[in-house]
Amino acid sequence: MLRPTNFLEESTARQIVQRAMGIIAYSVNVMDNNGVIIASGDASRLFQRHEGAVLALTENRVVEIDVATAAHLKGVQPGINLPFCFRNQRVGVIGISGDPLQVRNYAELVKMAAELMVEQAALLDQHQWEKRYREELANQLLQGTGDRAALEVMAAYLGLDLLQPRIVWIIELHDRQPHLLRELLNELESGQREALIAMTGLNELVLLRPASWLQGSWSQKLERKQAQALQARLQHRFNVRLIVGGYFAGEEGVFRSGLTARATQAMARRLKLRHKSLFYDDYPLPSLLCDMCEDWRALELSKPWRILSEQDDKGVLRHTLRQYFSRNCDQTQTALQLHIHVNTLRYRLQRIEAITGLKINVLTTALQLYIGMLLNE
């Protein structure tokens, strides 16, 4: 008994047999390009060489076999055998068992159906491979470690320009349901055709999206507009948050954009921000500092803030300082925000100076307090 080749997939051959026999009342066989039966309405005939199929392939013609002829051939029953093609190449043979005079009318229809199913399977397979290639290319670019020549070959195969600047968008799905993630992926694949998409978590997708250009240069305003439009469109069906990394030119642009997107994500989680859209360009300093919390440099920079925390039991001074920094060190605006008199604000700032030993109106020491605040939020 012979095993089939892999030129024609057995799964496709079985589908051909099942669909054909659902329509006609005759047993149908599918033989591969070696004449081996790989699917049949008669399971006992599987993986046997069919001499009628071999003849049909060799001479590229329809082979009809009557009862007398079948008696002299091995593994053959009366019927009709037609070679069928894909992309101008013979890939197998369709056989219909029965009196040739009776099954002849069905033969061409079954053959045409078989060719359509093989083509459909090939297109689906190609589509799946392209999806895998696109996701692998996305992952390689995000990691920043792939071989450049290999990446260029992969991009060329997909018809993509590797030099085109891309910005990393992280989409967090807050409903942890697999079917919703699949639906979200389908939505993005149909609506963001120019983007590379990677699934990076059970509730997370990453887009590597072409940067938004306006008059020959990257437009932050247009990037925001498009990101907000996507977030608004998705929000009707999905509970998502969109995090947009920074723009960087050059070969490592995607890698660096991914790092800034991740830093912004970590910062947002640490500060428990609930914004539906977050842009790295809005939070560059807190995002960059977020991963430094355990570093010795961070511990040194945040020492004055920790000293202040130890002597500020009710948190009044720290809250005052947060509002002071958020109002760009404008005492009048800070006092209004806190609903206190300016003199009260000045008193609190003096208390902070006395506790920390730093001068609020000196840029370098004020910056140290500001960084300490960010590192300890």
Domain count for the chain, please give it. 3
Cβ neighbours around 18 below 10 Å, total: 12
CA distance 184 to 203: 10
For residues 244 and 335, membership in a common domain is answered with no
Residue 117 sits in a domain whose CATH number is: 3.30.450.40
- To the nearest 5 percent, what fractions of the chain are helix, strand and coil? 55, 15, 30
Residues forming beta bridges with residue 168, ordered by sequence position: 208
pLDDT at 349: 94
Is there a domain that residue 16 lies in?
yes
Burial class from Cβ neighbours inside 10 Å (0-12, 13-18, 19+) for residue 185 reads middle
For residues 307 and 254, membership in a common domain is answered with no
Cβ neighbours around 49 below 10 Å, total: 16
Residues forming beta bridges with residue 214, ordered by sequence position: 217
Helices (H), the chain: 10-21, 51-59, 67-70, 100-143, 148-158, 178-191, 220-235, 253-270, 284-290, 296-301, 303-310, 316-326, 331-338, 342-356, 363-375
Domain boundary, last residue among 260, 290, 320: 290
Residues forming beta bridges with residue 197, ordered by sequence position: 207
Residue 168, token pair as written in the block: 């990393």
For residues 266 and 312, membership in a common domain is answered with no
pLDDT at 105: 82
For residues 16 and 111, membership in a common domain is answered with yes
β-strands 277-279, 240-244 pairing: parallel
Is there a domain that residue 195 lies in?
yes
pLDDT at 290: 78
For residues 73 and 113, membership in a common domain is answered with yes
Measured at the CA of 144, the angle between CA 142 and CA 147, to 5 degrees, comes to 120
pLDDT at 246: 95
For residues 180 and 243, membership in a common domain is answered with yes
Domain boundary, last residue among 67, 99, 121: 121
Is there a domain that residue 145 lies in?
no
pLDDT profile of the chain (377 residues), mean per 10: 57 89 89 91 89 90 88 83 88 91 86 86 76 86 83 83 92 89 90 87 93 90 93 91 94 93 92 91 87 75 89 93 92 94 94 93 89 82
For residues 66 and 15, membership in a common domain is answered with yes
Is there a domain that residue 18 lies in?
yes
For residues 208 and 326, membership in a common domain is answered with no
CA distance 244 to 265: 9
Residue 79's region, left for phi above 0, alpha for psi from -120 to 50, else beta, is left
Is there a domain that residue 215 lies in?
yes
For residues 196 and 176, membership in a common domain is answered with yes
Domain boundary, last residue among 275, 290, 305: 290
For residues 194 and 265, membership in a common domain is answered with yes
β-strands 79-86, 63-65 pairing: antiparallel
For residues 284 and 191, membership in a common domain is answered with yes
Is there a domain that residue 136 lies in?
no
Is there a domain that residue 239 lies in?
yes
CA distance 219 to 3: 60
For residue 322, which of 376, 284, 268 has the smallest C-alpha distance?
Answer: 376
Residue 281 sits in a domain whose CATH number is: 3.30.70.270
Tell me the DSSP string of 31-83. EETTSBEEEESSGGGTT-B-HHHHHHHHHTS-EEE-HHHHTTSTT--SEEEEE
Q: Find how far residue 173's CA is from the centre of its chain.
A: 13
Q: What is the largest CA-CA distance in the chain?
A: 115
For residues 265 and 301, membership in a common domain is answered with no
Is there a domain that residue 151 lies in?
no
What is the span of the domain harbouring residue 182?
163-290
Residues forming beta bridges with residue 266, ordered by sequence position: none
CA distance 71 to 187: 58
Residue 363 sits in a domain whose CATH number is: 1.10.10.2840
